Amino acid sequence: MFKTRLLSGIILVVLALVLIITGGTVLLGALLVISLIGMYELYRILQIEKTVLGAMGYLAAVLFYADLWHSVWQDSMVFVMGTLILLMFVYVFSYPRFRTEQALMAFFGIFYVAVMLSCVYQARMLERGAYIVWLIVLCSWGSDTCAYCVGVLFGRHKMSPRLSPKKSIEGAVGGVAGSMLLTLLYVWVFRAPMQADMRDMLLLAVISGVGALISMVGDLAASAIKRNYDIKDYGTLIPGHGGILDRFDSVIFTAPIVYYLALFFVP
């Protein structure tokens, strides 16, 4: 199992390198595919993955990504309200085929998976996005690795024993600190092409620390959903890791945090 998990992890890192470095339409298209698979995994929990309600969710995700590629809506609320109205249209006129929680999950899945993951692409499109986008990796997968190592060595106090008994407060602190240190090292190495000074280094390290903290919420949120519906993994697509949502649960939360903090605070 360890070898399988390690090999899958290496392949994921290589794919992330290729897609993020390439950027543009290739990255956008890959994120759409990942989002659709993740939404399928989420919808499967409430058995709407192959229904008209699920299809409406997939269609909304496709339209959202199409808008990122070629902007149409001037106000994002048009998309939000339009999506909700269409889903309620399906819910009402197919009644009593679907339960209320199924309709809500269809709406939730669009934003929880597709919209939030799209921030990876949006971060890549920033002025210094070719470098800033890697903070998402550092404060999700990087902090997760640091948190695991510190937790194994020093973990004593459980962070959320009912959701994730193996996670400790010490591990969480190690994950945040590790993410910030990795970011400082990363920005220092690429300081010339990034045109980054000391202020930029410290600011990006803080952003990475905040992202690492939020990534733990994403991880625990995914665990909470699985426990509520009594499932071990969202899927089996990635050997040794589970499904898309099992591997990208923290990225889903860190991507918008890094994107918006960089957008507003990084010159």
Q: 51-99: per-residue pLDDT in tens?
A: 999 999 999 999 999 999 887 666 678 888 999 999 999 999 999 999 9
Beta strands in 7-163 (DSSP E): 158-160
Q: 175-211: per-residue pLDDT in tens?
A: 899 999 999 999 999 999 999 999 999 999 999 999 9
Over 90: is that where the pLDDT of 110 sits?
A: yes
- The pair phi, psi for residue 229, each rounded to 5°, is -110, 10
Pick 136 or 8 by higher pLDDT.
136
- pTM score above 0.85: yes
Residues 213-236 have a mean pLDDT of 88
Cα–Cα distance for residue pair 115/144, rounded to 1 Å: 23
Residues 216-224 have a mean pLDDT of 89
Q: Are 183 and 190 in contact (CB under 8 A)?
A: no
Q: Is 235 left (phi over 0), alpha (psi -120 to 50) or beta?
A: beta
Residues 161-172 have a mean pLDDT of 81
Q: Which residue has the tokens 């070898």?
A: 3
The burial of 161, by beta-carbon neighbours within 10 Å (0-12 exposed, 13-18 middle, 19 or more buried), is given as exposed
Name the helix (H) or strand (E) containing 165: strand 164-168
Over 90: is that where the pLDDT of 169 sits?
A: no
